Structure formats: structure tokens, C-alpha cells
Structure 1
């Protein structure tokens, strides 16, 4: 059965309630507006929707971080891990790759999550872990009486052998992926699709992200939002801006984000080079470092067009649905799960083809009527991607 059929099938049933559930993202992430971590954003949105249904969500968090989202019941835990090794290190990752491929165990990532898992309240009916499949060990299945959910937001199994992947998925009650692309990539690695692997598409808050009126006569602003790292492709947008500037100066490019996920992060070498490449364009290109979550709707409201020229296979792309909800037309790479969210009204371009990217952007820069038309269609499409629907589907899968 295809992923879309799985979603259609579960959408037709009555919504059960599974409560309380416990959510664990990256162990040392903030559960806060002040982080750009997508997992924290999703957990917050799901906690809000779950509470609106009458459920209770425990959010297991490190007591060393700032947590200011009001949704969910915070369950802090103390860590004995050295502050110099708060993040999962490259050495630990390399050890896990070797041991995973040889003996089928990844002890470093399991140990990394042990204190967080020990803090999960005993009345938890379902435990949701984001991406860190190595934490789902036989020991966890023996010690936790509830149902285990693995939530895949990235291609976490790149270094895993098929046998390892299958063992972990079999330990879960359900494994969910944010796109057909991601679910299919797992199935291809295994040679078949596990019965408990389903697609659970992300939602978007269409109340916070809404179309805004722009003053007539303002230059068309092309927006990029995201991690400013090479695989996200902001350099392709800068290259295209040089080409567009040969045809018109009636546009602006606004690149929002940083290489890091916190406002305190300094500029990376890539960010420095990006600014150097944009310098000849003067005020046609503007950079805004990291913006916290609560300020993002205003960023989208100040734009006319969104560009996502990613180089990698983006599993979903939260910024795409935020741009859609904000009523912006979107020019993007046809990669990963992006087309599943963006649909036929997206403008798809190979980001490595600078001329084609510039042509696609320029055609919308000079045609406000077409921008409005595409933006309205994408806004309507975004309204179907709700967090309420996301959590309802999760409840059905966990209860099944």
C-alpha cells in the first residue's frame, strides 16, 4: 500500500485519545522560540494540538537549557555529561557506525539518551523519539511498558545496514516519516515496506502564518529562510540575483538565518563568503541573522516571493509550508519531499542552473498578478496541512 493510501485509510476512522504521551527531541535542544531546531518546533505544535484535543504531552528536556514554550508539561532531567560534550560528538558517531555495522548495536547514542529516557513519567502511554533511532534498544523495549514511536524527519539510516534498520522499526509500535519520499527511501533500503511504517506529514500554523498586504510600488522581495549552510543553497540565490540585476533593479533579496540554531552563533566561513559574493549588489541583497520562531511570521509578511534552492534531498521543508501559508509563491528545487507539500503550483528549478533559477524568479518579480494567483492557491493548499490533522493521525496510528 502506498503512503498516501495509508494516510487516507487512517483519516476515515474515529479519532481515539492516547494520553499522556512523552516527546523527546535532541537531548540538549531548547524547547523554545529561541532555537531554530525543527524538532522543537514540531513538538511544540503537536503538544498544542494534543492539549486542544484534551490530551497531555510530557516534553522531556535538559535542565541545562532554556525552555519557554508554554505548551506541554515539562519534565526536566539532570545530566552528568560533561558540558564540553553536550552534543553528540564525531568520535561517538564514528564508533556507533562501526559497531552498528558489525554487531548491530549503537551504544553511544543509546547512552546519550539514557538519562532523558529514565525521566519519562511512568504513566506515559506512548513515547515519541525524533530521528535518534539508535536510542530504541532492546533495553528500552524491556523497560518501557507503553508504545514506542520513531518519528523520522531526516534520512537517519544512511550509515545503517538493512538488518539494523529492520530491527529498530520492529521494536516500534509505529514508525512515521514526514514524507512519501522519506518512507520510500527506507523501504528501498529494506527491499520492502514494513507494515508499521507510515507517512505523517508536518502541519503548519495557518493562523500565525497568514498573507499580508504589501504597499504598491515596493520592490519585489525574494525571501530565503533557513539554516545558512551550503546544502541549503543560499549561494544559488545570490548567483541568480546577479543575473536578475542585469534586467531590473526593482527587486530585493532577503536572506534570513544563520549556520547555527541560536542567536549567539557567529558567522561561519560559508556565511562570510556569501556576504562577499553579494557585496557587489549593494542594498539589493540583505542579510538578517538568526530570527527566533515568534518573529518569523513578520519576516514572511515582508516578502513577495519565496525561494528554496536546496542542494540536498529535503525530506519536507518546514519553511515551504510556512511560505505557502503566508500566501507567497515558491520557487524551489524539485527535491525530496518538497513537491508533496508544494504541489503543482510550485515553480521547480534545478538550483545549479543559475540562468534557469534567475529566469524563474525574474518572471515572478515582474508579474505581481501571477504572484498573487500562485500565492492564493498555495495558501489554500497550506490550510490542509494542520497540526490538528497531524496529531489526529498520530493518535490513530498509536492506538491501532
Structure 2
């Protein structure tokens, strides 16, 4: 098959600027390209060529300002069998007009079928034009099929994944060395490290974790809460919310470390050096990919009961779900529970690692996507 994978207009592929969709596309493309002709289309970036071949994948990049129009022209020339478009349902109409014989798969990574983003007519038109819709969680699938019941027969959940080689648990040979090295570099020896990775945005809830610190250090004065992220991908400039976080953090300067934007290739070692991972999202998160990364690194998970996040949690086996997700004390209670018991942390971490090995490797994601492509190509 000749397959095109089309990214959004926000960030380039490979994910040199970060981005869950960009990591997803780059990871599955190289696996699928072992058997098929794969082209990945994304926006241009000063650090990347306009066109290149990597790992048998052809990368084509267009300027953001003319992105949709240039893609229309390109796909019209190339005659792809299947086009996989990420997260832009309103682009299906112009693209399908350009290549009416091509089969379209739409992957939905956020609530793109909400009333704020499209009309009923636009949604119905998209559903009619696509052969299959794949979603990153059952939650996201429900946001589509609840509004457009006619999409039920073509909608399928294909969970995202993680690089099992990049993310190493602390009990592995590589993990032990990495954990020791990074803890030495960051002066974290003897600390119990609680990790947050994500945008420093109110909807991600880092302020709640800072507010939970007093209750945690009552029992665990050796706590260090590490925040990795910035206000936006690759943007370390401050806004009022980030300044507020830094002010809160300064109150507990012996227990808080802020690390600004980290390039994706450097993220895995920061997971490995930690003891547990917390996702405190306050919005209806589609299903944050940091959950897969934390499990791959052998960390127990604590996550909020928002959106698709709970779908990867087996309560008490690989982590816990916080139902009172706006309450700092709820996070403090569960964090303390895990900091109290190193054996429990290890057992949850090992269960989580086994879970991603079985269900969430990039090979598994690529297999699932390929089965979708093959199905629609034979229709």
C-alpha cells in the first residue's frame, strides 16, 4: 500500500519540538514502512529539510501558511491508497474532493467533534467521507459517537504507545546507571522524587500538587517534587500562571525543582530517576501519553479521573485514580500512601511495565493501525 500520514499544522515531524501527535506519527511510520510505502507530511522547520528519506519513510514538509492547499496539490499528484489524517476532521472535505477515490482514516486525539469546533453538518459530512475513525481513548470515541451515532460502526479505539527501549525502569541494567547519574547531576540522592511532566497550565493542575506539599512533607521530609515543562511546547517564557507556580514553589524551595522545557530525547532519563508519577489534569484529558511513558519507566501512576486518563489504570495494580481531583489533600493522601511503601511502588511499577510491553509498544500501535489501513483498502 501507498500510505500518507498527515500531521497537524502545529509542530514538525519528527518531534524535535515535542508534541504527542508528532511522536505518534514518527514512531509508527518507521515500523509500517518496513512493509509499505509511507510518506509523512508536516510543517516546515528551520532545522529540517523540506523533503528527506529517514528509516525508509519519506518526509515532506510544507509552510504552515499554505499547508492545507499544498497538501491538496501533493496528494492529488501522488495517488495514495490510504491517507491517515490526524486530528483535523474539517480537512477531510477539501482533501477528499482532491482525491475522491482515496480511502481516508481520521485519527482523533482531542475533542475535535465538539460543538465549539464544528457544526452538525460539518460533522455529518466528515463521517460520510471517512472510511474509519480511530481514537486515542474510549472517552474520545464517545465524544464522537454520542453526538454522531452514525459514526459508531466506523469508530475504533487505537491506544497510543511508547518506545520501550528509550524508557528504562530503574531495576534494569541501563536504568540503574541512568537513575544514579541523573540523581547525582540534580543533587537528588536520598530524596523521594515525585514527578510531574506536562505543560505548566492551570488545566494540567500543577498548582494542586504544590498545594499538597505541606501534607506530604509532614510524613516525608525527604520529598522532592520535580516539575518538567513550560507554558507551551519549547517556550520557556513566563506568564502569570507560571510565575504563580514559581512563587508557590519558592515557599518549599527544599522540596520543589522546576526543570523547563526538555527535548523529547532527554525525557526518559528523568522518568527513570523518579519514584512515582502524578498527572493532576483538571480538563477532560483525551489520555495523556505521559501515562505510557511512566509505566514504561516502571513508575507507579497517580492520575485524575478526567477524560481518558483512567482507562490505562488498573486500580491498585499499576496505580490509582484520584476522584476528588480538585482537592490537593486527595493527591497528598495517595502520594503519601506510595511514599510509605517502597515494596508497593515496585510492584505497581513492574505491573505497569509489563502492561505497556503487552499492550502499548509502538509495534502494537503500528499493528493495530495497519489492520485498519488494510481493512479500508479492501472495502
TM-score range (shorter-chain normalised) is 0.7 to 0.9
Is the counterpart of residue 343 in structure 1 residue 314 in structure 2?
Answer: yes
Distance in 2 separating the partners of 1:47 and 1:26: 15
Distance in 2 separating the partners of 1:325 and 1:70: 26
Distance in 2 separating the partners of 1:242 and 1:67: 46
Aligned-partner SS, 2:161 = coil
Distance in 2 separating the partners of 1:186 and 1:388: 27
Alignment: residue pair count: 349
**Is residue 233–residue 351 contact of structure 1 (8 Å, CA) maintained in 2?**
no
Kindly state the Cα deviation for residue 392 of structure 1 after the two structures are TM-superposed.
1.7
**Is residue 227–residue 259 contact of structure 2 (8 Å, CA) maintained in 1?**
yes
Question: 2:68 is matched with which residue?
Answer: 113
Aligned-partner SS, 1:307 = strand
Question: 1:47 is matched with which residue?
Answer: 29
Distance in 1 separating the partners of 2:372 and 2:35: 18
Distance in 1 separating the partners of 2:307 and 2:299: 21
Distance in 1 separating the partners of 2:102 and 2:46: 27
1:206-264 per-position Cα deviation (integer Å, ceiling 9, x unaligned) = 121120235697211000011111111111111112321233211110000111111x5
Distance in 2 separating the partners of 1:248 and 1:337: 31
Distance in 2 separating the partners of 1:333 and 1:78: 38
Stretch of structure 1 that moved more, 70-79 or 371-380:
70-79
Aligned-partner SS, 1:245 = helix
Q: Identify the match of residue 221 of structure 1 among 183, 186, 193.
A: 193
Aligned-partner SS, 1:390 = helix
Distance in 1 separating the partners of 2:10 and 2:353: 34
Question: 1:61 is matched with which residue?
Answer: 42
CA gap 1:191/1:24 in 2 versus in 1, 3 angstroms? closer
Aligned-partner SS, 1:343 = coil
CA gap 1:348/1:46 in 2 versus in 1, 3 angstroms? same
Question: 2:111 is matched with which residue?
Answer: 155
Distance in 1 separating the partners of 2:337 and 2:74: 54
**Is residue 329–residue 378 contact of structure 1 (8 Å, CA) maintained in 2?**
yes
**Is residue 61–residue 116 contact of structure 1 (8 Å, CA) maintained in 2?**
no
Kindly state the Cα deviation for residue 65 of structure 1 after the two structures are TM-superposed.
4.2
CA gap 1:32/1:395 in 2 versus in 1, 3 angstroms? closer
Is the counterpart of residue 356 in structure 1 residue 356 in structure 2?
Answer: no
Distance in 2 separating the partners of 1:43 and 1:151: 11
Q: Identify the match of residue 275 of structure 2 among 298, 304, 314.
A: 304
Question: 2:144 is matched with which residue?
Answer: 186
Question: 1:101 is matched with which residue?
Answer: none
**Is residue 21–residue 86 contact of structure 2 (8 Å, CA) maintained in 1?**
yes
Kindly state the Cα deviation for residue 298 of structure 1 after the two structures are TM-superposed.
0.7
**Is residue 220–residue 339 contact of structure 2 (8 Å, CA) maintained in 1?**
no
Aligned-partner SS, 1:379 = helix
Distance in 2 separating the partners of 1:37 and 1:246: 37
CA gap 1:40/1:169 in 2 versus in 1, 3 angstroms? same
Kindly state the Cα deviation for residue 277 of structure 1 after the two structures are TM-superposed.
0.9
Is the counterpart of residue 373 in structure 1 residue 347 in structure 2?
Answer: yes
Q: Identify the match of residue 37 of structure 1 among 19, 38, 41.
A: 19
TM-score (norm 1): 0.82
Matches within 5 A, 1:199-218: 199-212=157-170, 213=176, 218=190
Question: 2:372 is matched with which residue?
Answer: 397
Stretch of structure 1 that moved more, 367-376 or 181-190:
181-190
The answer for unaligned runs of 5 or more in structure 1 is 1-18, 82-110
The answer for unaligned runs of 5 or more in structure 2 is 171-175, 184-188
Is the counterpart of residue 239 in structure 1 residue 239 in structure 2?
Answer: no
Is the counterpart of residue 141 in structure 1 residue 96 in structure 2?
Answer: yes
**Is residue 45–residue 387 contact of structure 1 (8 Å, CA) maintained in 2?**
yes
Kindly state the Cα deviation for residue 396 of structure 1 after the two structures are TM-superposed.
1.8
Kindly state the Cα deviation for residue 188 of structure 1 after the two structures are TM-superposed.
1.0
Aligned-partner SS, 1:282 = coil
CA gap 1:163/1:33 in 2 versus in 1, 3 angstroms? closer
Question: 1:131 is matched with which residue?
Answer: 87
Q: Which has the higher contact order (CA 8 A, sep 6+)?
A: 1
